[in-house]
Every structure is written in structure tokens, then in C-alpha cells.
Amino acid sequence: MSLLIKNGNIVTAGENYSADIYAEGEQITRIGKNLDAPPNATVIDATGKYVFPGFIDPHVHIYLPFMGTYAKDTYESASKAALVGGTTTLIEMICQASAQEPMRDGFELWMGKAVGKSACDFTFHQAVTRLDQDTAGQLTDIVESGVSSFKIFLAYKGAFDMTDKELYDTLALAKKLGVVVTAHCENADLVLELQKKYLGEGKTGPEYHYWSRPPRVEAEGVHHLATFAETHGTHIYIVHTSCKESLDEAMAAAERGVNIQIETLIQYLVLDKSYAELPNFEGAKYVMSPPLRDKANQEVFWNALRKRYVSTIATDHAPFDFVGQKEMGRDDFTKIPNGIPSLEDRVNLLYTHGVAAGRIDLNTFVDAASTQAAKIFGMFPRKGTIAIGSDADLVVYDPNYRGTISAKTQHINLDYSAFEGWEIKGRPSAVTVRGEVAVQDGKFVGTIGRGQFVKREPNHF
Ligand code: URP
Ligand code: ZN
Ligand code: ZN
């Protein structure tokens, strides 16, 4: 298998130059001008197009038992959607329904959902929802199997949340094992009490989801986690940071030496809380946690991204149909399954509203949507860049393409799109996974089951 991409404008997190890329087998073997290839090579002409490293979504849910139901996607649908949208590697969360189930079983279950079914490469963050001697041993085994990041929830009382003692012990274990701890930061008790307050006042609509999880509740979670992490020197990564208050807490922690990385989501950059206020329960499509915020936060995050205070842009893809699933919360916003799916749209929305709108440059775009995730989660330089020896995960991107997003044409398995009718400026015209073409002219042509588990070594000592 050989692949030649000719005449592209190659963009990495730090460079921008014109050259050809040649891959013999699964890795890039040559980069240079006027490269030739054997007659049987696949040749892609990238004249007038960018060539980016395959994008990485570091926060995805595919198999997710959650809030009395299951997320809609399978690895078949999600990996196709990811690839059409330019994402060649995703990191899914292993989130078991019950904290009492053995974690080793969770790891096997999630592997079983992905191996042989995914068209893109994948790896996992291991959720830790309880910690004792036995689970610490299982976690050590799972890290040895190649999962070098944990996920913890300070939110979701009675489901995924943990005690402060467990938090303390988890952060100590992570430090010992050299893994980074990703964390959903919202104060679970405050959320619960505020939910009771609003429901008690008869305020049951989707718009009250925001009021039950105001910015301070999230910022308190960030502060709480940073304080605990500081005690052990553990490396932490704040998932789905949504508001200035949380960003300020994270930046303050970074200034005093806490090793902290910040993720935000494409949803927070382009949507705001008015969407969750749409009439006739339409707002339920826009319920996720932390909630969409006041529009003023968007500029704060575009600035933080431009300055690279924010490391990564993810999706927290968690798909629940409007009919039959979001509708479970018609009379009670606390029963609306949380999630605004965007796995397929992340890269195009970031390009359209970031690069094409002049808010961020191309290198920052690549850094936030690919390179930083590879570095933080131990996949660099195999993933996240274009270099000799790196996997030939490449996105040939057409900046002149114009199209619209619609549920009718999307590949994710969902009955709506949160971005219905939105214009995109640019899209991947070709995508390769380890040297094989998986998307051509915007259409999936890849191989279900070819996606590999990316084994990751601990890199946060
Ligand atoms: O609303 C969200 N974020 N849904 C998925 C679960 C989580 O919190 O990551
Ligand atoms: Zn979360
Ligand atoms: Zn999540």
C-alpha cells in the first residue's frame, strides 16, 4: 500500500509549507518536492488545498449507559462520522453504569464495542467512579494495557461522582502511575440542591438546566480539583470548560504551578444559552453539562484559544435522539439526557468560525484540534503531526467548499442536528487512516473494522 499526496499546502501546529507527502505502508516515509511513486500508488492531487495531520477528538462518548438510556451511536456510525468530519483518532470514555462493576470488565466491554467495528483509530480514558485497594489494582492493570489517562466526575450525584477521600486517593494513584486525570468539574451537591429548588418552584423546562448549574458551580469544581491535584503534584485536564469563571480558576491554578490543561468544546464557541431557551421543548436539543453559557463567554474562549491557554477543542459527543430520549425530560429538565452531539462537525465548525472568520490562525487550529491532544495523551509524534515516521493519518482540506449541515445528511445516528442549516466554509475532501483512503470527495470509502486501538504509555510523571 503506497500513497502520494501531491502539491498540498502542509500545515502542522508550527509550520506551513508546500510539499508532497509519500507513505509506504502505514507511515509517512518521505516529504519533499516533486516526489514520485510506484505505478500502483494511490495519488491524491491537493493543489489549492491544505494537508493537515489527522484530527483527534479527545472527548467522545459512543457506548454510554446514562440517565436511564443509552447514547445512540455505535462504532460503525460514530467512526464514519468522525472520518467524514476529518477526525482520524478519537478518545472515548469508559463510563460504566455502576461503580460496583469490576473496572477490568468495563475495559473489556468497551474494547469489544470498538475492535473490529471502528473505521478510525481509537483509545480510551478510564473513568474512576470509586477507589479502594481492589480497584487500584485493576486500574494499574488497565494502565499497563495501554490506557494512560483517567476520567473523574465531580458531578452527577449518585451516578458517577466520588467522595473527596476517593478523589484524594485517585489523584495519588495517578501521580504514582504517571497518568493524567481528566475531570468533569461541577459541584455535585450544589447541582442537586439547585435542581430541587427549581423543580420545587415548578420551573421544569430545559432553560432551567442552566440555572441549576451556574458558572460558579463549575468554577468551584475546577478550584476543588486543582487544590487536590496540587497536594500530590498530579497532572490534570479540565474537560468541557464552558465559562470565564472556570477558565479564571484554571489559569490561577496554572500560575501557582499546578500542572493543568484546559479543554473547551466547539459547542461553547459557537452556541450560547439562548438555544436551550427555544420554545416547544426544542431547547432540550441543547441541554448538556456544563450548560451552554452567555454569549459573552465565546469571545473569552476564542481569545484564550488564540493565546493557547486553552489546549484542546473537543466535542463531548453524546448523542440522544430528540424523540423518545430528550423527550424523557418533557416535564422535568433533570431527566433530559445530557449531550449536544458534534463529532462530525467539530473540525468544519472550528475552521469556519475560527480560521475563515479570522479568529485563529491555521497553526492554532491544528494545534487545538489535533497536536495538543496527541501530546497530552501520549500519542505524539505517532499522531498529531506530519513528519517522517508518523502515521499517515492525513486530511486534505478544501477551504473553498461551501455546504450546510443537516440531520438528513449526517453520518451520526441521530434524529436531529444542533447545527441544522448552518453554513460551513471548507471540508475534508480526502482523509487517510494509516495510509488508506477513508474519505473521498466528502464520502466515506473506508473500512469498518480497520481502526486500531492506540496503546498509550504513561507520560505524566
Ligand atoms: O452533557 C454531557 N456532557 N454529556 C455527556 C456526559 C458528560 O458529562 O461527559
Ligand atoms: Zn462531563
Ligand atoms: Zn463527556
Q: Is 384 in the pocket of ligand 1 (CB under 6 A)?
A: no
pLDDT number for residue 99: 79
User: Per-residue confidence at 288, pLDDT binned at 50, 70, 90?
Assistant: very high
Same domain, yes or no: 76 and 178: yes
Average pLDDT over residues 108-131: 97
Report how far ligand 3's centroid is from the alpha carbon of 97 (Å). 14
Q: Is 221 in the pocket of ligand 1 (CB under 6 A)?
A: no
Q: What percent of the chain is modeled with pLDDT above 90?
A: 97
pLDDT number for residue 230: 97
pLDDT number for residue 178: 97
Is residue 98 over pLDDT 90?
Answer: no
Same domain, yes or no: 40 and 89: no
pLDDT number for residue 100: 86
Could you give the number of structural domains in the chain? 2
Same domain, yes or no: 269 and 368: yes
Same domain, yes or no: 332 and 414: no
Last residue of a domain, one of 376, 403, 428: 376
Average pLDDT over residues 336-348: 98
**Single-letter residue type at 240:** H
Q: Is 289 in the pocket of ligand 1 (CB under 6 A)?
A: yes
Last residue of a domain, one of 376, 399, 424: 376
Is residue 158 over pLDDT 90?
Answer: no
Of 43-57, 98-112, 295-309, 420-434, the poorest mean pLDDT is in 98-112
Judge whether 186 and 217 are in contact, CB under 8 Å.
yes
Report how far ligand 1's centroid is from the alpha carbon of 381 (Å). 29
- pTM of whole model > 0.95? yes
Specify if 459 maps to a domain: no
| Minimum CA distance residue for ligand 1 atom 8 | 289
Average pLDDT over residues 412-431: 98
Specify if 238 maps to a domain: yes
Same domain, yes or no: 67 and 33: no
Same domain, yes or no: 105 and 175: yes
Q: All 3 cell numbers of residue 383?
A: 499522531
Q: All 3 cell numbers of residue 234?
A: 498530579
Average pLDDT over residues 423-443: 97
Same domain, yes or no: 284 and 424: no
Point out the ligand 1 atom lying closest to the alpha carbon of residue 156: 8
Angle, helices 296-306 vs 244-255, to 10°: value is 30
Same domain, yes or no: 329 and 402: no
Last residue of a domain, one of 331, 346, 376: 376
CATH code of the domain in which 422 resides: 2.30.40.10
State pLDDT tens for residues 372-406: 999 999 999 999 999 999 999 999 999 999 999 99
Specify if 210 maps to a domain: yes
Q: Is 290 in the pocket of ligand 1 (CB under 6 A)?
A: no
Q: What percent of the chain is modeled with pLDDT above 70?
A: 100
Judge whether 402 and 72 are in contact, CB under 8 Å.
no
Rounded CA-CA distance 385/383 in Å is 6
Specify if 417 maps to a domain: yes
Rounded CA-CA distance 25/273 in Å is 47
Same domain, yes or no: 62 and 197: yes
State pLDDT tens for residues 34-60: 999 999 999 999 999 999 999 999 999
CATH code of the domain in which 118 resides: 3.20.20.140
Q: Is 339 in the pocket of ligand 1 (CB under 6 A)?
A: yes
- Average model confidence (pLDDT) for the chain? 97
Report how far ligand 3's centroid is from the alpha carbon of 95 (Å). 9
Is residue 322 over pLDDT 90?
Answer: yes
Average pLDDT over residues 194-199: 98
Same domain, yes or no: 76 and 21: no
pLDDT number for residue 214: 98
User: Per-residue confidence at 452, pLDDT binned at 50, 70, 90?
Assistant: very high
Report how far ligand 2's centroid is from the alpha carbon of 60 (Å). 10
pLDDT number for residue 157: 83
Judge whether 35 and 24 are in contact, CB under 8 Å.
no
Q: What's the domain range around 155? A: 54-376
pLDDT number for residue 28: 98
Average pLDDT over residues 294-322: 98
User: Per-residue confidence at 156, pLDDT binned at 50, 70, 90?
Assistant: confident
Same domain, yes or no: 47 and 60: no
Query: Ligand 1 pocket: which of 289, 293, 326, 340 to mutate (most atoms <8 Å of CB)?
Result: 289
Is residue 459 over pLDDT 90?
Answer: yes
Is residue 416 over pLDDT 90?
Answer: yes
Is residue 325 over pLDDT 90?
Answer: yes
Q: Measuring CA to CA, how many Å separate 232 from each of 34, 200, 301, 334?
A: 53, 41, 29, 35
Q: Smallest Cα–Cα separation from 54: which of 434, 453, 448?
A: 434
Residue with cell 495510509: 435
Same domain, yes or no: 123 and 225: yes
State pLDDT tens for residues 199-246: 999 999 999 999 999 999 999 999 999 999 999 999 999 999 999 999
Is residue 123 over pLDDT 90?
Answer: yes
Residue 280: burial class (beta carbons within 10 Å; 0-12, 13-18, 19+): exposed
CB neighbourhood size of 18 (10 A)? 12
Is residue 363 over pLDDT 90?
Answer: yes
Specify if 460 maps to a domain: no
Q: Is 184 in the pocket of ligand 1 (CB under 6 A)?
A: yes
Closest listed ligand to the CA of 185:
2
In three state form, how does the secondary structure of the chain look? CEEEEEEEEEECCCCEEEEEEEEECCEEEEEECCCCCCCCCEEEECCCCEEEECEEEEEECCCCEECCEECCCCHHHHHHHHHHCCEEEEEEEECCCCCCCCHHHHHHHHHHHHCCCCCCEEEEEEECCCCCHHHHHHHHHHHHCCCCEEEEECCCCCCCECCHHHHHHHHHHHHHHCCEEEEECCCHHHHHHHHHHHHHCCCCCCCHHHHHCCHHHHHHHHHHHHHHHHHHCCCEEECCCCCHHHHHHHHHHHHCCCCEEEEEEHHHHHCCHHHHHCCCCHHHHHCCCCCCCCCHHHHHHHHHHHCCCCCEEECCECCCCCCCCHHHHCCCHHHCCCCCCCCCCHHHHHHHHHHCCCCCCHHHHHHHHHHHHHHHCCCCCCCCCCCCCCECCEEEEEEEEEEECCCCCCCCCCCCCCCCCCEEEEEEEEEEECCEEEEECCEECCCCCCCCECCCCCCCC
| Minimum CA distance residue for ligand 1 atom 1 | 288
Specify if 455 maps to a domain: no
Specify if 263 maps to a domain: yes
